[in-house]
Amino acid sequence: MNSLRVTISKTPRAAWPFVAFLGLFFIGGLIRPGLMSIESLLGTAAFAMILAVASYGQTVAIVQGGIDLSVANTIAFTALSFLTLTRSLGVGLALLVTLALGAMVGAVNGLIITKLNLTPIVTTIAMNGFLFGIILLLFRSSELATIPEAVSAVTSGRIEFLGTSFPAALLLGLILMVGLQLLISYSGWGRQLIVTGTSAEVARYAGISVDRTRIMGWALTGFLNAIAAIVIVGFYSQASPTMGASYLLGSVAAVVVGGASIFGGSGSFVATVGGAFVLGQVATLVSVANLGSNIQQLIYGVIVLGVVALYGRKKKA
């Protein structure tokens, strides 16, 4: 009994969403035995991975103690830029320019937040509105139907596995997760970002250049949002000025369900993937049980509330 308690308390927080995901998966199997298959698991995982990829940028923002409400239109802006640029520059160059654009959007957010002391919420809302204007002025989305083959191949293209197949986006998302997790857990900058997110004052006393760490963090957020944009374009084969809307709060939900503190300093990419998997499995169960999207949203809310009640209490001063 005691050893069980020790095991539970020693399990890293990032593991819990995966435990919940597997629990939901088995519940699905009990409701409908057909759901208990590798195909079903991989199908849910692939869709959930798209939300996870769209939430990587948000993860960085929340870890450093901010929140990114410009994710919706950063995704739409970079996606439409990518498709437009591809026609004149080719896929490779367009990809580089698009990622640079994303990083630039993030860096501007970071500069405003650190140098002008605006709160991240207000700054990113302003950026979101600004980008929406740019999108409406620059792009005519009806012309942007063709998706480059190389992009489709690494996102919606299928990979053979154990006699079945899954979309390449799943693998791509996992590779990104591992890379980003290594960056944030083991690089000097990653650790500085976490310290900064926990307490900017402590970080300053530790000799960390807080502003520079922050700006780099925001640039990474923008860069990751641009990656998400390209993955979404490839996976769903479409792009529109409102394509990012559902990721605005969806990304925050995935990060929070993963167990990150909304006050910063904790959270990981692995946990975000776990959070997205939980939300994705709920969506699968709800659609199998034919309950409709309202019930799905309701359950999302209850899950967010439950996770926040578990982890999110304000410390008493």
Partner 1 sequence: MTRFRRLFSSGGLARLRSEGATAPIVAFATFFALYIAINPEILTRFQLQTASNLVVPLAFAALAQMIVVIVGGIDISIGAIMSLSNVSFALLMVNLSPAIAIPVTLGIGAAAGLFNGFLVAYFRLPAIAVTLASFFIIGALTRELMDRPGGGISYDFFLATSGELIPFVPVSVFWLALFSVALYFLLQRTRFGRHVYAVGSNADGLEAAGVNSKRTILLAFMLSGVTVSIGAIMLAGSTLTGDPRSGDAYLLNSIAAVALAGVAFAGGRGSILGAILAAFTLGLIGNFLYFAGINSSWQYIIAALILLSVVAIPALVSRIQAERRKTK
Of 261, 303, 262, the C-alpha closest to 282 is 303
* Per-residue contact string for residues 40-79; x = within reach of partner 1 by CB under 8 A: ---------------------------x-x----------
Joined together, the tokens standing for residue 180 give 């980003």
Cα distance between residue 13 and residue 268, in whole Å? 9
Cα distance between residue 198 and residue 77, in whole Å? 31
How distant, in Å, are the alpha carbons of 37, 107, 198 from that of 276? 20, 26, 24
How distant, in Å, are the alpha carbons of 125, 127, 151 from that of 132? 11, 8, 24
Cα distance between residue 168 and residue 235, in whole Å? 9
Phi and psi at residue 264, in whole multiples of 5°?
A: 95, 170
Question: Is there a contact between 268 and 184 (Cβ–Cβ < 8 Å)?
Answer: yes
Cα distance between residue 24 and residue 273, in whole Å? 15
* Per-residue contact string for residues 264-303; x = within reach of partner 1 by CB under 8 A: -----------------------------xxxxxx-xxx-
Of 196, 248, 313, 198, the C-alpha closest to 72 is 248
Given 133, 149, 182, 185, the residue binding partner 1 (CB under 8 A):
133
CB of 68 to partner 1, least distance (A): 13
CB of 225 to partner 1, least distance (A): 17
Total residues interacting with partner 1, rule: CB under 8 A: 44
CB of 23 to partner 1, least distance (A): 20
CB of 312 to partner 1, least distance (A): 5
Residue 267 CA, chain-centre distance (Å), reads 12
Given 18, 130, 189, 236, the residue binding partner 1 (CB under 8 A):
130
Give the residue with the Cβ less far from partner 1, 156 or 281.
281
Given 4, 8, 30, 317, the residue binding partner 1 (CB under 8 A):
317
Given 49, 63, 112, 147, the residue binding partner 1 (CB under 8 A):
112
Give the residue with the Cβ less far from partner 1, 111 or 183.
111
Question: Is there a contact between 298 and 247 (Cβ–Cβ < 8 Å)?
Answer: no
Cα distance between residue 7 and residue 33, in whole Å? 31
Give the residue with the Cβ less far from partner 1, 130 or 189.
130
- Name which of residues 161 to 220 contact partner 1 (CB under 8 A): none
Under the binding rule (CB under 8 A), the answer on residue 249 touching partner 1 is yes
Q: Angle 118-124-130 (CA atoms, 0-180°, nearest 5)?
A: 110
CB of 257 to partner 1, least distance (A): 10
β-partners of residue 161 are 164
How distant, in Å, are the alpha carbons of 12, 15, 33, 232, 277 from that of 271? 10, 7, 28, 21, 10
CB of 250 to partner 1, least distance (A): 10
How many residues are listed for the chain in this entry?
317
Under the binding rule (CB under 8 A), the answer on residue 84 touching partner 1 is no
Give the residue with the Cβ less far from partner 1, 187 or 246.
246
Give the residue with the Cβ less far from partner 1, 170 or 271.
271
Given 6, 15, 27, 121, the residue binding partner 1 (CB under 8 A):
121
**Using CB under 8 A as the criterion, which residues of the chain lie in contact with partner 1 when the complex forms?**
67, 69, 112, 116-119, 121-122, 125-130, 132-134, 136-137, 249, 252-253, 256, 262-263, 293-298, 300-302, 304-305, 308-309, 312-314, 316-317
